[in-house]
A and B are shown apart, each in its own frame.
Chain A
Amino acid sequence: MGAFGYLMIKEAKQFFGNPFMPMVLILLPLLLMLVVPLAANMEVRDVRVTVVDRDRSVLSAELTDRIFESGYFVPASYEDTYDAAMDELGRGNTDIIVEIPEGMERTVGRGGNAEIFIAANAVNSTKGSIGGGYLSSIVTSFSEGISGAGNSLPLKVVPQFKYNPHIEYKLFMVPALMIVVIVLVGGFFPTLSIVTEKEKGTIEQINVSPVRKRDFIFSKVVFYGILGIFAFTISFLIAHFVYGLASNGGLLEIYVSAMIFLVFMAGFGLIISNYSDTLLQSVFMMFFFVLVFMLMSGIFTPVSSMETWSQYVTYCLPTRYFVNILRAVCLKGSSFADLQFDFIMLSVFAAVINAVAVITYRKQS
């Protein structure tokens, strides 16, 4: 066993010596994979509707019933005036106000046209547009019902939701959370451990020893890489058995991309540690880049929705490729052949960042 082996043993002893760290290693993937998908949900469901029925007629009651029958909306309250409804909206107790004008039934009875006023709180634009849009389509189809026109067009568009037939938001989030696990374990852990060695001065003791730069870096990369794969495996097992992802195989694609990405994160962490003298600095830099990696690359919100210039920025983020690969493999059953570009880019990032890491790690000043 060479120096490398001894360094690995040392890392293991240090890591498992403090029960806090192994606990984080296990709890992190469990919580991320089991609890976060419940919360990380942009599904628009149970939209709260306040009805201001100023007509109080049979027809207005039918319309109200039709709205809540859809299963999409839940009644928040019934108000007498629009102002009272706005008050509820301001307090955050309701999302959409539907106002049925006075004399609607009479107008419609005379064969006239009445306007149903719908006001959606669009601060959350997804919810506002989906909820509002769906509500107005209910009103339209209700209107067709009363006018007796029926479905006026002999055409039916049948939507098919591929890869996620029940349009569950969870399935979108779970592959992304597997990435968060690697970012945290593979990126933060080694960085913190190196900077601590710097602050305590133990790195000096290693530097005067015959240990090669290479071995010291590798011992950290390999050790935390193993932990990263361990945590990733926990999250993969959860993804597979709890959420039923990657049911068509793709194990190889998933693990190869995870390995490449781990190598990237480790190299990245090394660069941060090379450039910081204190833990505080390294932590801030790490958080900064991790936030960029997580929020900019389509992990939580889709890349295609970004402003065009920021979409170009995402090409510089390895997480973009990794999240593409994981989502495609887990949900669509894509293979290496389908994802060549992403695999190549991910590998390029890993290679470049590690070259930079090795260059910047200087033993001799």
Chain B
Amino acid sequence: MKEFFAFVRKEFLHIFRDRKTLLVLVGLPTVLIVLFGFAISTEIRNVNIGLLSMDDDISITRLMQKIDRSEYFTYVGKYASEAEVDEAMRRGEIDAALIFPAGFIPAMFGAEGAEMALVVDATNPNNASMEVMYLSRIVYGYFGDEMAGSGIGMPSDMPAGGASLTPNLRMLYNPQLKSSYNFVPGIMGLILMLICALMTSVSIVREKETGSMEVLLVSPVRPIYIVLAKMIPYFVISCAILLNILLLTIFVLKVPVEGSFFWMILVSLIYIILSLGIGMFVSSIVKTQIIATLICGMIFLIPVMMFSGMLYPIESMPVALQWFAQVIPAKWFIEAMRKIMIEGVPVRYVTTEILIMSGLAVLFFTAAVVKFKDRIE
């Protein structure tokens, strides 16, 4: 046991001597969580609107004023032709344009009704859909009021006399529709995985490359203790990082913790151990730091970003990729955190996630230790 603690001490010294790396380890998660917590968002904002209208009708001008007043849209200006609208869109000046044909207003009051076009830049399809939804709601509402005022037709969002159904829409867990509620658990999963797995694997492989691992292996300490001694400091650092991230999430990003604090921490600890195990495993199968980096980076980081449900919902993926997502450890963590933190559901809803993460952790550790032994014999 004494030798064991001597090893642990040595590992701590290694980490604390390398100030630059330590700074990066603490600074990186802080900056990332703050930047991304605020920045990663899919709400629509600051949508620039253009207008193309053949007539100068006062009600169209008022409509544009109304659009400009809404929180999502900014009215940029009027264009003279479709070609101009097109050019403005190519330059990125406007994201959407309302196009009114000549004689639009009289036609609307006439028998046949009127039609107008809503052109949106659908480079980003989701934003385009939301823009169409919000803009048409404004347009219908506005002209509905106009016509109600003039006594013709009915506003569409009012119960049309007599029998009707009214939808009562409620947004559960996230009434303000903040993107951060969705992305923060993902960012936590990404950062913890990046730091834990990469840090462990690269630093162990580094010892292999410089040959100091050999020295450890010929010492009387059993290999399993060497593995553990390496893990403990990284585990401690990871816990500090976790605490840091949680505090930032709650107090800076103001994401509420709806569920149990205890279970949230426990789930995170299991995930940290799992990530360390992955790092350990990678270090036991590769020989150079570059390859360890590439494996952790390209094989773990990209999948975590793309396939874990961090940014993109898993259920929108093709079935084969949905299966693939199941083997990504971060997926289970992100799901569990979303449920506990944001939805605040009781822990029985996340037993699957917890069991799978624990299982994976045991698996990776066993594999790492077995591989580690192979190497010595």
Chain A at the B interface: mostly helix, strand, loop or mixed? helix
Complex contact B129–A90 (CB within 8 A): no
How long is the Cα–Cα vector from A311 to B171 in the complex, in angstroms?
27
Complex contact A36–B170 (CB within 8 A): no
Complex contact A113–B126 (CB within 8 A): no
Confirm or deny: A270 has a beta carbon within 8 angstroms of a beta carbon on chain B: no
CB distance from A158 to the nearest CB of B (A): 5
CB distance from A155 to the nearest CB of B (A): 5
A to B contact number (C-beta, < 8 Å): 380
Complex contact A140–B167 (CB within 8 A): yes
CB distance from B299 to the nearest CB of A (A): 10
User: Contacts A122-B177, A192-B293 given: A147-B39 contact, CB under 8 Å?
Assistant: no
Complex contact B163–A159 (CB within 8 A): no
B interface, how many residues as a size bin?
35 or more
User: Contacts A132-B169, A300-B311 given: A123-B89 contact, CB under 8 Å?
Assistant: no
User: Contacts A129-B177, A162-B119, A306-B38 given: A111-B92 contact, CB under 8 Å?
Assistant: no
Q: Which of B28, B39, B181, B305 contacts A123 (CB 8 A)?
A: B181
Q: Which of B111, B128, B129, B164 contacts A108 (CB 8 A)?
A: B164
Contacts of B230 in A (CB 8 A): none
Complex contact A276–B20 (CB within 8 A): yes
Confirm or deny: B240 has a beta carbon within 8 angstroms of a beta carbon on chain A: no
Complex contact A160–B117 (CB within 8 A): yes
A interface, how many residues as a size bin?
35 or more
Complex contact B315–A46 (CB within 8 A): yes
List residues of A (334-355) whose CB comes within 8 Å of B's CBs: 334, 338-339
Confirm or deny: B284 has a beta carbon within 8 angstroms of a beta carbon on chain A: no
Complex contact B162–A161 (CB within 8 A): no
How long is the Cα–Cα vector from A6 to B40 in the complex, in angstroms?
45
Complex contact B156–A140 (CB within 8 A): yes
Interface string of A272-316 (1 = CB under 8 A from B): 000011111101110110011011100011101111011101100
Q: Which of B91, B140, B160 contacts A144 (CB 8 A)?
A: B160
How long is the Cα–Cα vector from A338 to B311 in the complex, in angstroms?
31
Complex contact B87–A310 (CB within 8 A): no
Contacts of A309 in B (CB 8 A): 38
Interface string of B276-302 (1 = CB under 8 A from A): 000000000000011101100110011
**Top 6 nearest A-B pairs by Cβ distance?**
A154-B113, A149-B160, A136-B167, A122-B171, A161-B122, A164-B122
Chain B residues with CB under 8 Å of chain A are 18, 20-21, 24-25, 28, 31-32, 35-36, 38-47, 86-87, 89-92, 95, 108-130, 132-133, 135-136, 139-140, 143-144, 147, 153-157, 159-175, 177-179, 181-182, 190, 194, 198-199, 202-203, 206, 289-291, 293-294, 297-298, 301-302, 305-307, 311-313, 315-318, 321, 325, 335, 338-339, 342-343, 345-346, 349
